[in-house]
Amino acid sequence: MKKRALQVALLYALYGMSGAVVAQEAAPATATDAQDETQCDEDGCTSDEGVLFSLNSHGEQEPAVKNASENSDAKTLAPDRRVTIQAEKVDSKWREELQPGQAVAIGKWSVQLPDGGVIWATEDPDLGRPEMSMSASSMLSFDGSRITKPVKFYGYSNYGAFIKRADVLVFDARDVDLVTPLATIPLQMGTVMEAEWDGQLANASSLRVGDELVYVVRAWADEKIYDETFPQRMQLLRPEEVEATNQRLQNTLDSSRYGSLTAEAAERMRQVESSFGQNSLNRQNIPVYGSRVRLQGRNIPENAFLTINGQSIPVDLERKFVVEYLVPVGQHAFDVQVGGPNAKTGEIQRRIDVDVTGRYFFAVALADLTYSNNSASGAVGPQNPDGRFDKDSLTEGRLAFYAKGKAKGKYLITAQADTEEREISRLFSDFWQAYPQDVFRRLDPDRYYPVYGDDSTLYRDVDTMGKFYLRVDWDQNQALWGNYNTGLTGTEFAQYARSLYGAAFTWRSTRTTEYAEPGTFVRAFGSQTQSAPGHSEFIGTGGSLYYLKHTDVLPGSDKVTLEVRDGLTGRVENRIELVRGVDYEIDEYQGRLILTRPLAQVTRENIRTLTRDDPLDGYSQLLLVDYEYVPTGFHSDEVAAGVRGKHWFGDHVGVGATYVEDNSGGDNYRLMGADLTLQAGRGTYLKLEQAKSRATSAPVFFSDNGGLSFTRTNPFQPGGEGTASAVEARANFKELGWTQREWSAGAWWRQVDAGFSVARYDTGADIEERGAEILGDVSEALRIYARVSRADRGAESLSQAQVTADWRINDDATLSAELRRVEESRLGGEASGTLLAARYLQRIGTALDVYGIAQFTLDDDGGQYEKNNAVTAGAKYNFANLSTLGAEVTAGDRGNAAQVNGEWRVSPDHSFYGSYTYSTDTTARDPLFNSGANPGWTLGQRWRLSNQVNLFNESQFLKAPNESGLAHTFGMDFYPSMGWNAGFTLQSAELDRELGQVNRRAVSVNGGRTSESTQWQSKLEYRKDTGLEQREQWVTTNWLSWKASESWRWAARFNYSDTQDELDALAGAKFVEGNVGFAWRPWNSTKYALFGKYTYLYDVSSLPQVGDNVAYYDQRSQILSAEGVYHPNPHWEFAAKLARRDGEVRMGRLTGQWLDSGASFAAFQTRYALGNTNWNFLGEYRWLKVDDGGVRKGALLGVDRDITKNFRVGVGYNFTDFSDNLTNFDYDHKGWFLNVVGRY
């Protein structure tokens, strides 16, 4: 009864505030056909089902405010505020005739449309995040001297009210620092932004057909504070080719959506939809305050276009829309226009006036007290772990609240606390402690107990492992008690990224520098740690399944990063933070991560050299996963604390410092760092950094087979110390005014001691790297690149020096040459070599490049350096970043290779790609710097991983209140194509180990469907390892959501993996996760509801995984459940639930005899509300039968009365009996109880 009373109390509390909730979020009700005989009078409306609504009028008849005018603010007029509910007239424009007894609530924040359509506005005190994106055609018509056709830009922004002006800036793609714009186009600000560029360029003489331009948006709040988007590319093409491509694109568009539009209008709609609700901000400094006004609509008339304040708003296939505005305090008008030449309803114009006060308060609280009289007899020991049945009486209670408030349109406060139900004397015990292993707090209701059928979205406003949560947000600052990520990532070496529970503080000044850096930034945190840091690294396997080293990972603590590294120097060339739910999904309990798309081992993008050390080489791709877990026997009451601060003195001098102390686990880890930045321009700076560490940050585990085996790469050194130092300088000579052409230079030096330790840089070896490079245009036709570098690791080293020149003979021909010197010093000896290479590239049209490369060994150090002569012939088709196709053949002293690769870019975020490579490489591998050939083939499709991030960019890591975009939060489905997708990936690779070689082959096939009623995606993968490791793996992931009708919903998921080790049968792994569920909720009745779900689970963990829940044995289970509710009238409610669980276990891994167990459960409940009184009666019966284990059954009877709206008193009697067939023990538990509940 106590549990049910708590649930009932909470439901009543929510019911009591339902009016406020509806006013904030729900759409105004529209009239529907009467199902029952309805009677309405001046007091309200009733039907056979009871009271539909009642009207209560309170207040004075005369206005309390004197001398009010239309200029009076909301605070002044508050005493006279009224809500009017009236019956709609029969000559309503949206309905010719109302049915008897129908009524419609009329409000200023909503408008009705024909055929039941409705548009309404809500004010959300949570501002969310500012968003901006821009889109334009990737092809520009260029006749060799000028752009011949105007270029149109379309974008999206939700905070235009805080922007004074915005421009689209166009640069030459070679201007990597975005210093000198070729064109500046003023942008018309709004939610949907538009601009047209006539194509005029400040300097077009150096541009040729096939070159690229980039553009960004800079939005200004004043002369100093600005925001900027990530750069996007456009290619210069001949006019006739642009026209032909536009026609091909028009033919590929969905005719049902764009068929009636002209090519120009279809392209405009496609560009608007591709940017709407997206965010590509690279720098965000403009402060926002006030509230978020959200306009939503449904049942928009067919074939109608929608504009708000004169700007076009996209409407999806379900004829719904949502748009957000971040607006300051004050009155705001939104002029809505619905119509168009093909609209059946004609032109409709409405106005919605919204008064943003900047003030908001919402709270719900619960106080529960239960006194029970115990009468227990028999064998109560097994049922009495906490000793509660030893007492004659028991007093238990619970206090809980949630509150959210806003003041001055700026300060947003969120607070929550829950003591949970426990004895009064222990109510506040361990109130400030976290419970990382509390599995019940960690169950995700949306995954494990999904609610099908109501099309709702679950959002949790608080994130805490403890009983208390507090968050205060203002401007871009935050004070927090709860879960957070430490977020110290603004430097190269002084990095500390953990997910903890405790206090965190982030503050940045409103002042920004000339280069959009915050004038002052401070991040501090402190936590009594309850977990240990984990770090797993994986090289791409060609598949998407990766097992972490540890299981039982704390939910929300995972941080996944993709790093692209130079295999020769170990230098990080690019780093991409992956987004959970978009790029990957993770099963924390099993320590299992599945990427959205397979990850290849190497990439050859952006390699700046003509010569090759192997027939095939490239940058390696590593997956880095940081997380928190609780080791066996881990008990830590130690504190982890840290602070990071940076201050800019003026615009050019920045000083930063970092300090971290982490005593968790007894290692007494310490990290100290200081950094200095001298910034002379966007591309001219000097950075100095030094960091010192003590002890080991975290054990680093590396796997080259997806987690089927691990190697620890950093030594355990509890007393170790080390220092890391770095200097990096870069100069843009054109920016400094030293040259008229593009010239830039850079130099770097890094030295890391063997004892230095951070999670992402801990090798246990002394490392020193130094180098310099220069890149520039000697003339419009000649570009030179030169680089010299040296890397030392322990007693081994690698030195390189190269000079590369590109001579553009004419628009279609380029000749390149390179001279490169390599010096190697290894334990096995020293060698040096000099290479000379030449390349001739001929462009045919604007899309096809044909080239040949010859490479010669000028000096082989008397035979110590293995000769590396090679000849390469190839071709590449590249058309406006929409499609590429390449083929290449190499023959040389170190082996032969062949490659075929291609990519078709369907949209800015989606492309199909493929490649085939073959190699007979005979090169001895370089174990020092992990260089190696990777022959094979790859085919598949690529979706955008995430917005690009700057390497070592300063990150704030605020716990965002709600940062999901519109399309994700509100399910906007534009479906610019027919909705089908398919692709596959093939890869072959060779991995070199100390004991031998592993040959890997992998294939992945995927497909899916997205439509108005169906969401489906499936993927099937196969991987085969031979050689030193002999392993076979199958993986498939599938999910389906089907809206069969307005009343029926189905959802299903099936994930499967089977790994078999041919050398060690016990080293295999397997898991199966499957469920299917349905919901029946009649759209025209609330009397009935029926739900059902079937779940199948099977798990055998990977052998090297570590954790208390690692399944070193086989376990599988099946769960079937069904429940229903019948509500015949307002007085009676009947509910029932049936469930069955069957489990099996065998102690051998993947072998042995199964031992089974099972249980059946049934529950029935009846509720009765006595007339129009406040008396409620409850009866409940529960039955549980364990196979060969006994039966437990119990009943509960109760009655309660609402004394006031917020206070309830209930009494009841509980009795339970239990019989055990095996031991013949039994017990009875009976007793009266008194329950008192207060709610707010």
Q: What is the pLDDT of residue 840?
A: 93
- 561, 615, 576: which is closest to 931 by C-alpha? 615
* Residue 934, helix vs strand vs coil: coil
Confidence of residue 1043 (pLDDT cuts 50, 70, 90): confident
Q: What is the pLDDT of residue 26?
A: 35
Residue-wise pLDDT for 1108-1122, tens only, equals: 656 566 788 899 999
- 1169, 1079, 1182, 1183: which is closest to 1124 by C-alpha? 1079
Choice between 344 and 480, residue whose per-residue pLDDT is larger: 480
Own/partner long-range contacts of 743-747 (Cβ < 8 Å, ≥24 apart) = 743/774, 743/775, 743/776, 743/777, 744/176, 744/177, 744/683, 744/774, 744/775, 744/776, 745/772, 745/773, 745/774, 745/775, 746/772, 746/773, 746/774, 747/771, 747/772, 747/773
Structural contact between residues 748 and 771, judged by C-beta atoms closer than 8 angstroms: yes
Residue-wise pLDDT for 1160-1212, tens only, equals: 989 999 999 987 788 999 999 988 888 887 788 888 899 999 898 889 999 99
Instruction: Give the separation between CA 202 and CA 183, rounded to whole angstroms.
Output: 6
- 763, 700, 662: which is closest to 550 by C-alpha? 700
Confidence of residue 647 (pLDDT cuts 50, 70, 90): very high
Residue-wise pLDDT for 875-889, tens only, equals: 887 654 456 677 778
CB half-sphere exposure, 136, CA atoms < 13 A = 25
Q: What is the pLDDT of residue 483?
A: 87
**DSSP secondary structure letter of residue 47:** E
Q: Which CATH class is domain 132-283?
A: mainly beta
Instruction: Give the separation between CA 357 and CA 124, rounded to whole angstroms.
Output: 11
Instruction: Give the separation between CA 634 and CA 546, rounded to whole angstroms.
Output: 25
Calculate the average pLDDT of the chain.
Answer: 76
**DSSP secondary structure letter of residue 182:** S
Instruction: For the beta carbon of residue 431, count every other beta carbon within 10 angstroms.
Output: 11
> Strand ranges (DSSP E) for 978-1110?
980-992, 997-1010, 1014-1027, 1031-1042, 1048-1061, 1069-1080, 1088-1100
CB half-sphere exposure, 960, CA atoms < 13 A = 12
Q: In what order do the strands lie in the sheet containing 39-41?
A: 39-41, 44-47, 50-54
Q: Helices 239-252 & 263-275, crossing angle to 10 degrees?
A: 70
- 287, 61, 259, 67: which is closest to 162 by C-alpha? 287
C-alpha dist (Å) from residue 833 to 9, 795, 930? 81, 20, 19
For the chain, the farthest-separated pair of C-alpha atoms sits apart, in whole angstroms, at 107
Structural contact between residues 282 and 230, judged by C-beta atoms closer than 8 angstroms: yes
Instruction: Give the separation between CA 669 and CA 684, rounded to whole angstroms.
Output: 36
C-alpha dist (Å) from residue 896 to 569, 890, 902, 916, 1034? 25, 5, 21, 14, 32
Composition of the chain by helix, strand, coil, percent to 5: 10, 50, 40
Res. 312: pLDDT tops 90: no
Which region among 604-608, 1009-1013, 1017-1021 has the lowest average model confidence (pLDDT)?
A: 604-608
Can you read off the two tokens belonging to residue 2? 């106590």
Which residue has 């790994």 as its token pair? 1059
Residue-wise pLDDT for 540-583, tens only, equals: 877 778 888 887 788 778 888 888 877 666 667 777 888 777 77
Q: In what order do the strands lie in the sheet containing 592-595?
A: 545-547, 592-595, 584-587
**DSSP secondary structure letter of residue 665:** G
Confidence of residue 730 (pLDDT cuts 50, 70, 90): very high
How many residues belong to the chain? Answer: 1240
Rounded to 5°, angle at Cα 1212 from 1211 and 1217: 155
Residue-wise pLDDT for 61-118, tens only, equals: 456 666 665 555 545 655 655 444 444 333 333 334 444 444 444 445 788 887 778 8
Which region among 355-364, 744-753, 782-791 has the lowest average model confidence (pLDDT)?
A: 355-364
Can you read off the two tokens belonging to residue 829? 């000896």
Res. 288: pLDDT tops 80: yes
Which residue has 């192997």 as its token pair? 614
* Residue 960, helix vs strand vs coil: coil
Residue-wise pLDDT for 749-766, tens only, equals: 999 998 888 877 777 788
Domain boundaries, the chain: 132-283
Structural contact between residues 1240 and 364, judged by C-beta atoms closer than 8 angstroms: yes
The helix or strand, by DSSP H or E, that contains position 121, with its residue range, turns out to be: strand 118-124
Instruction: Give the separation between CA 356 and CA 329, rounded to whole angstroms.
Output: 5
Res. 254: pLDDT tops 70: no
Instruction: Give the separation between CA 858 and CA 820, rounded to whole angstroms.
Output: 10
- 306, 339, 340: which is closest to 323 by C-alpha? 306
